[in-house]
Structure 1
Amino acid sequence: MSTTSSSAAEPTEALVETVQSWFVDNFLDGETQLVGGPNTALEALDASYQVCGGLPSLQTRSSSVKPNGACPELFTEMNASCTCLSGFDEAEDTWEFRVRSKPSESSTTVYPLTQAATDGLEIDAIQTLYVPSTLQKLYIQGNEIADFTVNATIFDDIVNLTAFTSDLADSSASCSGGRWESAHDLQFCVTSNSSLAAQGAVVVVLLVCVLTWQWFSYKKDRSSETSQDHLYSVFDSDLNSHETMRVRLTVDPIIATNRLNYDEVKLGQCISRGGFGLVFHGIYRRRQVAVKKIRVNSETEAAQIEQFIKEIMLMAVLQHPRIVEFIGVAWESLVDLSAVTELMERGDLSTVLHGFRQHGYRLAWGDHKTTIALHIAEALVYLHSLSPKVIHRDLKSKNVLLNTAMDAKISDFGISRERHVIETHMTAGIGTSFWIAPEVLNGQDYDERADVFSFGVVLSELDTDDFPYWNAANPPGGKLEEGEILQLVAAGKKRPAFSAGCPPPILELAHRCLQRRPADRPSAEELVRILEELELMAFSSSSNNGSVDSGVSSLSMDSIE
């Protein structure tokens, strides 16, 4: 495993200036481009500053249309809007896009956050910033191409394609900034790699076409080996001798089956820090991934290491579209133990909500929020339907991750528990305090309906774009104030606030989830049914215009009891 950095860093002032200069040089005012990958010239940028995590997107620079807030801030400052494209998977071997020439006169007032790649994308150009090493075939026939201008590196990659099909470029095209080269019976204007102002724009001026990029995909190798070697035997001997390392770890078939080659996991920037874990951006077999590692030092407790291993084993058996995909586990020694999962490019829900709010944007219930809530509920249905049932026990916006298409998936199963039917008591006091159900706070028996209460708190976060209880209107206090809040929650006398503009059906659903008595809360299946119905409803314009009233109102305490 190789490492590029141990922590995320802000881009330097010089790099920001270079990036912004490149953007201005390559995007005319009002121009929309289909961008096919991360810019290799800007590879010094941390992954969090890449548009849509480096996956295909539409990028627009416009002085007349307000930025949609979906670009990294250094692009938003340049009047940029970014639309992440959906309808394909990074690991698939073929990506297909339908594009057409953008009308000269556009009535667009705001660009969407996401769009299906096959919708008929209205663009002015295809920006071939980066040709992945796995790209094999590129088809862009059915267009009138003004010219092909690419840098030397991209031209070499195009030469190596097994297939490249396109109409001929305009015969009047010039090549003042480079030299003419031939490949696949086409003429390309090839510029110097050092020229940031000519990163390969392919200008599309007419007609609807199908643009298909084909990659070689990899298949996850799920070995069936049944080695009985003890897991702890591969750990570093110095750490094995540490006084806190007294846990006996035996090889589990799940661990063995899901073990990855450690050297194939390339570690990048740290993108998240938890109580005793770190999450890094990484690459595994050319796929962008997230890599979670435990903080291992002289104070690390054996129980923490054992808990991390249990979390890995649970992640390995959970397979659902609304659960973050587990790819495998890799290690050479204890300090290297790594859980590899799919990368959710937008990060956690809390950060996304606060990020949009900070820049003056608000997601609406009528577009993304209802769908996000539905996705979370679908994950709970899956967990609660397993035998034995799995209770997440730490459901909150920080543990809900979003990808470029704004799909939500649940993560972080560090304190999850399997609940057997015969079990009569589960330990209380687990989970982030403001999301914990009253019965847990009171030390009483609890079941999967504790997750439903936490879901109700998440609905308040979705609605207000803020934390529960301690937020912009109520600054955080100390431990004493936290204890007072929790006492009121445990007694059923306090609930998180909702905005004055919260759609009534959402407010009613949250009211039911936040009932003090677990038996009065809906099941996860009922949550899905209700949210599916709400997703089909057209909310009033006051709830859909993306500008929610800043006032807040709490649920009626009288109606809750």
Structure 2
Amino acid sequence: MNEFKLEEIVSATDNFCPSRVIGKGSHGCIYRGILEDGQFVAIKKQSSGLQKLQDNTKLENEACILSSLSHNPYLIRLLGTSRDSFKNKLLVMEHMPKGTLHEFLHLEDDETTLNWSQRFKTAVQIAKAVQFLHEENPTIVHRDIKSANVLFDQNLNAKLADFGLAIRMDGYDSLSRPAAGTIGYLDPCYTVPSKLSTKVDVFSYGVLLFEIISGRKAIDVSKKPAAIVEWATALIQQGRVLEICDERIELPHHMEDTIKNLAFIASRCVSLMENLRPSMAEIVIQLEKSIIDEQSVVRFPLWTSFLCGFALQRWQRKLGCKTDSTQINNKGNGSGVTISKGALLVREILAEIT
């Protein structure tokens, strides 16, 4: 792993200028930096409170986890590390210029929110990221899956970030750390260290799915109920699935079944019975099946439209007259007969095969 000199980091961030801050959290700040070769990077520095305590555990843990992983397109990339003048850890990460999923979903400017295709793509990409972690040997549990930790690159591809709380389940030590996470996303079954499992991430992913679908925060005290899980699961149980959908953007008819499926997956993920929650591998399979189903729905009208047009042209040549694209009036018997595109298509195909 590359070790950057402190002078490089100070120069890249203009001495950690406040105007360079692009993210804040309970564990520290993230600065936008420009290296000498012109490369944009994100530099994570501990919060002032942790610096005073000289508590490097979160950044040390993140560096350890990320440096041990092979490249994955859906995980944030660690470029290297450094140390400040007090020997506190600094992380140099790839820069994700489009910000966080949380910003896209919850900023007041509705015009900048993600459309349904982008939301579904994000759900698939993060599911694959978590699946990758769970299939590591030993398994890695992220423990802090939330919209603020989903970042976007220039092409709006999503990557999972912030591994400060992640645990590699490689022995007793992994089951001795206190339960941790973010309120609203935290699995209510995860109350003691021994309850740690991949199902903790599955629950958080389910909350994230509800957030993606609804545009509502995981916890919003201005609403009743305040918890997104309680609100969304109640609507699903009442058969009112589409009422969960974000009203700021219109849901295309051809995507209704896809989004319903997303909601049903989310409801399984947040089950209080851990054994009923699907694995991330199962979730990815279901999501990819939704992609296939959606594509087949989209393609069919395109083919029928083409065939209808072709059939109409042949009928026009046979009748020796011009018609509009939707009807033919046959006045030979003194009555007007309207022939729909669908009827023309069926009649033409039948003529070709009989």
Deviations 1:463-519 (A, max 9, x none): 11120241664497xxxxxxxx69xx8xx9995977516422111111111111222
Q: Deviations over 1:182-211 (max 9, x none)?
A: xxxxxxxxxxxxxxxxxxxxxxxxxxxxxx
Letter in 2 for 1:506: L
Which secondary structure state, in structure 2, belongs to the residue aligned with residue 379 of structure 1? helix
1:353 corresponds in structure 2 to 105
User: Which secondary structure state, in structure 2, belongs to the residue aligned with residue 291 of structure 1?
Assistant: strand
* 1:295-334 correspondence to structure 2 within 5 Å: 295-296=47-48, 300-302=52-54, 304-318=55-69, 319-334=71-86
1:436 corresponds, among 167, 171, 186, to: 186
Change (3 A) 1:328 1:361: closer
How far did residue 306 of structure 1 move?
3.0
**Distance in 1 separating the partners of 2:175 and 2:5:** 40
Number of residue equivalences: 270
For residues 379-424 of structure 1, what are the alpha-carbon distances to aligned partners after superposition, in whole Å with 9 as ceiling and x for unaligned?
1111111111110001111111111211110110111111137789
Q: How does 1:159-178 map to 2 (within 5 A)?
A: none
Aligned residues: CA RMSD: 3.1
Once the two structures are superposed, residues 207-227 of structure 1 have per-residue CA deviations (whole angstroms, 9 ceiling, x without a partner) of: xxxxxxxxxxxxxxxxxxxxx
Q: Does 1:420 align with 2:164?
A: no
Aligned-partner SS, 1:341: strand
Q: Is the 8 A contact 2:210 2:232 kept in 1?
A: no
Matched, 1:538 2:294: yes
Matches within 5 A, 1:329-408: 329-334=81-86, 337-355=89-107, 358-360=109-111, 362-365=113-116, 367-408=117-158
Aligned residues: percent identity? 26
Distance in 1 (CA, whole Å) between partners of 2:150 and 2:50 is: 31
User: 1:459 Cα deviation (Å)?
Assistant: 0.3
Contact map agreement 2:123 2:209 (CA 8 A) in 1: yes
- Matches of 1:280 and 1:442 in 2, distance apart? 34
Which residue of structure 1 aligns with residue 243 of structure 2? 500
| Secondary structure in structure 1 of the residue aligned to 2:23 | strand
What does residue range 80-119 of structure 1 map to in structure 2 within 5 Å?
Answer: none
Letter in 2 for 1:500: E
After TM superposition, give the deviation of residue 331 of structure 1 in Å. Answer: 2.5
Q: 1:535 to 1:300 in 2, by over 3 A?
A: farther
Matched to 2:278, the amino acid is P
Partner deviation per Cα, 1:1-52 (whole Å, 9 max, x = no partner): xxxxxxxxxxxxxxxxxxxxxxxxxxxxxxxxxxxxxxxxxxxxxxxxxxxx
User: Which structure has greater strand proportion?
Assistant: 1
For 1:300, what is the secondary structure of its paired residue? helix
Distance in 2 (CA, whole Å) between partners of 1:501 and 1:493 is 9
The alignment status of 1:273 with 2:24, answered yes or no, reads: yes
Q: Deviations over 1:507-546 (max 9, x none)?
A: 11111111112221111111111111222333999xxxxx
Q: 2:267 aligns with which of 486, 492, 511?
A: 511
Q: What amino acid is aligned across from residue 314 of structure 1 in structure 2?
A: I
Q: Could you tell me how far apart the structure 1 residues matched to 2:157 and 2:32 are?
A: 19
CA spacing shift, 1:301–1:470, aligned 2, 3 Å: same
Q: Report the TM-score when normalising by structure 2.
A: 0.68
Change (3 A) 1:278 1:499: farther
| Mapped partners of 2:165, 2:86: distance in 1 | 21
Corresponding letter in the other structure for 2:148: K
Mapped to 2, the partners of 1:520 and 1:337 lie a distance apart of 40
Matched letter for residue 121 of structure 2 = T
Structure-1 separation of matches of 2:25 and 2:78: 19
Alignment of 1:58-77 (within 5 A): none
TM-score (norm 1): 0.44
Q: Distance in 2 between matches of 1:413 and 1:299?
A: 18
Q: 1:516 to 1:388 in 2, by over 3 A?
A: same
| Correspondence for 1:144 | none
For 1:538 and 1:464, how far apart are their aligned partners in 2?
20
Matches within 5 A, 1:169-248: none
What amino acid is the match of 2:163?
F
- Mapped to 2, the partners of 1:261 and 1:409 lie a distance apart of 27
The runs of at least 4 consecutive aligned structure 1 residues that moved more than 6 Å come to: 421-424
Q: Which amino acid aligns with 1:259?
A: E
The alpha carbon displacement at 1:349 in A equals 0.5
> How far apart, in 2, do the equivalents of 1:279 and 1:496 lie?
38
Structure with greater helix share of residues = 2
The CA distance in 2 between the partners of 1:298 and 1:506, in whole Å, is 39
CA–CA distance in structure 2, aligned partners of residues 309 and 346 of structure 1: 26
2:214 equivalent among 455, 464, 471: 464
Q: Distance in 2 between matches of 1:352 and 1:496?
A: 26
1:334 Cα deviation from its structure 2 partner:
2.5
1:452 matched residue in structure 2 = 202
Counterpart amino acid of 2:270? L
Whole-angstrom distance in 2 between the partners of 1:314 and 1:529: 26
- 8 Å CA contact retained: 1:370, 1:535: no
Corresponding letter in the other structure for 1:390? I
Match of 2:160 in 1: 410
Is the contact between residue 59 and residue 89 of structure 2 (CA under 8 Å) also seen in structure 1?
Answer: no
> Structure 1 counterpart of 2:5, which letter?
N
SS at match of 2:220: coil
The aligned amino acid for 1:513 is: C
State the match for 1:264 in structure 2: 8
Partner of 1:529: 285
Q: Which runs of 5+ in 2 are unaligned?
A: 15-19, 236-240, 246-258, 299-354
Amino acid at match of 2:33: G
Uncovered stretches (5+) of structure 1, i.e. residues with no partner = 1-256, 477-484, 542-561
Separation in 2 of the partners of 1:500 and 1:494?
9
**SS of the counterpart of 2:144?**
coil
Distance in structure 1 (CA, Å) of the matches to 2:115 and 2:101 = 14
**Displacement after TM superposition at 1:295 (Å):** 2.4
